[in-house]
Amino acid sequence: MSATSHISVSDAVELIKASLLASDVSDAVAQSVADALVAAEAEGQVGHGFSRLGDYVAQVRSGKINAKADIKVTTPQPASLLVDADFGFAFPAMDAAIAQGVPAAKEQGIAIMAITNSHHCGALSVQVEKIADAGLMGMMFANSPKAMAPWGAKTAFFGTNPIAFSVPRAGRDPLVIDLSLSRVARGKVMNAHKSGKDIPEGWALDIDGNPTTNAKAALEGTMLPIGGAKGSALALMVEVLTTMFTGAAASHEASSFFAAEGPAPRVGQTLIAIRPHDGVQFAERLEALFAMISDMDGTRLPGDRRLAARAEAHKNGLAVPTHYLTQARALAGSA
């Protein structure tokens, strides 16, 4: 097992930000990326945290990520936004989308935010929670480079294409659901590969379509979808919502999120913000529903572990593999 070291959440943000600033990423963009990576790390989504930093910096240096991206937001319709990420980081593009989409949803009742020419968007939970914090229901869909085969095939074609949902709760943290359409997020496999660990059986197949516990073989093969054919069908749905709808590259066209070489991935993300209707006792009925679920033996609401992990991280710091912290300090010039 690889050694871990503790670092406070605030110090983690500053360390990642410094690592990006050292590669000529602007202050605002570096802050947006650092906030998102540490938020993911804090809630236990380690495949979207420190493990991504080295890949990001390598892609900034190679030009695969446009560190000087000029994000453009247009409004084809009052409740419809199109955000061009200009081949840069996804996080500032999502910040821009939410900044304009939330007010539009409050006024119109709903807003849809389509992001094109984008990159890896990290933990979707982090983004949809921002929508719920504004008193709106949130949904998000994202495509990613090919990693899953259509059901019955052996060749990767769909991304792991995650989906997320959030709903505000009176006086409590929002309920947030975030799941990859593969059995696990591919970032967990990459994290295992970088850490020299095997993966559990049932996560992935090798290039010949055989079950594997070798992380490298899994990355060269395909991820298994949740729910068999149903997960594959959902991946197709996300593909349409995030690529055909936005003008972004389809998963089978997108380049790797991990390799520094090649063109920009140009993937897409679609977010939806919905204002709950007045006069239907939304908040009261919601809490009654959640209480009924929580009162059942052996159950918990989705996201409870995430909230517990985040509380622990803010209280006692993040437990991060030491080699990731060493890498970050070297990138920041403070090793």
What's the start-to-end Cα distance of the chain, in Å? 23
Pair of tokens at residue 18: 């410094």
Region of residue 256 (left: phi > 0; alpha: psi -120 to 50; beta: else) = beta
Please state the pTM of the whole predicted model. Answer: 0.93
Per-residue three-class SS string for the chain: CCCEEEECHHHHHHHHHHHHHCCCCCHHHHHHHHHHHHHHHHCCCHHHCHHHHHHHHHHHHHCCCCCCCCCEEEEEECCEEEEECCCCCHHHHHHHHHHHHHHHHHHHCEEEEEEEEECCCCCHHHHHHHHHHCCCEEEEEECCCCCECCCCCCCCCECCCCEEEEEEECCEEEEEEEECCECCCHHHHHHHHHCCCCCCCCCEECCCCCEECCHHHHHHCEECECCCHHHHHHHHHHHHHHHHCCCCCCCCCCCCCCCCCCCCCCEEEEEEEECCCCCCCHHHHHHHHHHHHHCCCCCCCCCHHHHHHHHHHHHHCEEEEHHHHHHHHHHHCCC
Confidence of residue 194 (pLDDT cuts 50, 70, 90): confident
Region of poorest pLDDT, from 61-70, 164-173, 189-198, 221-230: 189-198
Average pLDDT of 124-131?
98
Confidence of residue 186 (pLDDT cuts 50, 70, 90): confident
**pLDDT for 213 beyond 50:** yes
* pLDDT digit string, tens, across residues 167-177: 999 999 999 99
Average pLDDT of 99-115?
97
Answer yes or no: are the C-beta atoms of 331 and 23 closer than 8 Å: yes
Q: What distance in Å separates the CA atoms of residue 53 and residue 253, rounded to the nearest whole number?
A: 24
Considering the chain, what percentage of its residues have pLDDT values greater than 70? 99
Average pLDDT of 162-167?
98
Confidence of residue 188 (pLDDT cuts 50, 70, 90): confident
Confidence of residue 307 (pLDDT cuts 50, 70, 90): very high
Instruction: Provide the residue type at 79 as one letter.
Output: A
Answer yes or no: are the C-beta atoms of 320 and 4 closer than 8 Å: yes
**pLDDT for 14 beyond 80:** yes
pLDDT for the residue numbered 335: 44
Q: What is the mean pLDDT of the chain?
A: 95
**pLDDT for 277 beyond 50:** yes
Domains and CATH numbers, the chain: 71-182+225-302 (3.30.1370.60)
* pLDDT digit string, tens, across residues 16-69: 999 999 999 999 999 999 999 999 999 999 989 999 999 999 999 999 999 999
**pLDDT for 2 beyond 80:** no
**pLDDT for 334 beyond 80:** no
**pLDDT for 1 beyond 60:** no
Q: Is the dihedral of CA 313, 257, 115, 64 positive or negative?
A: positive
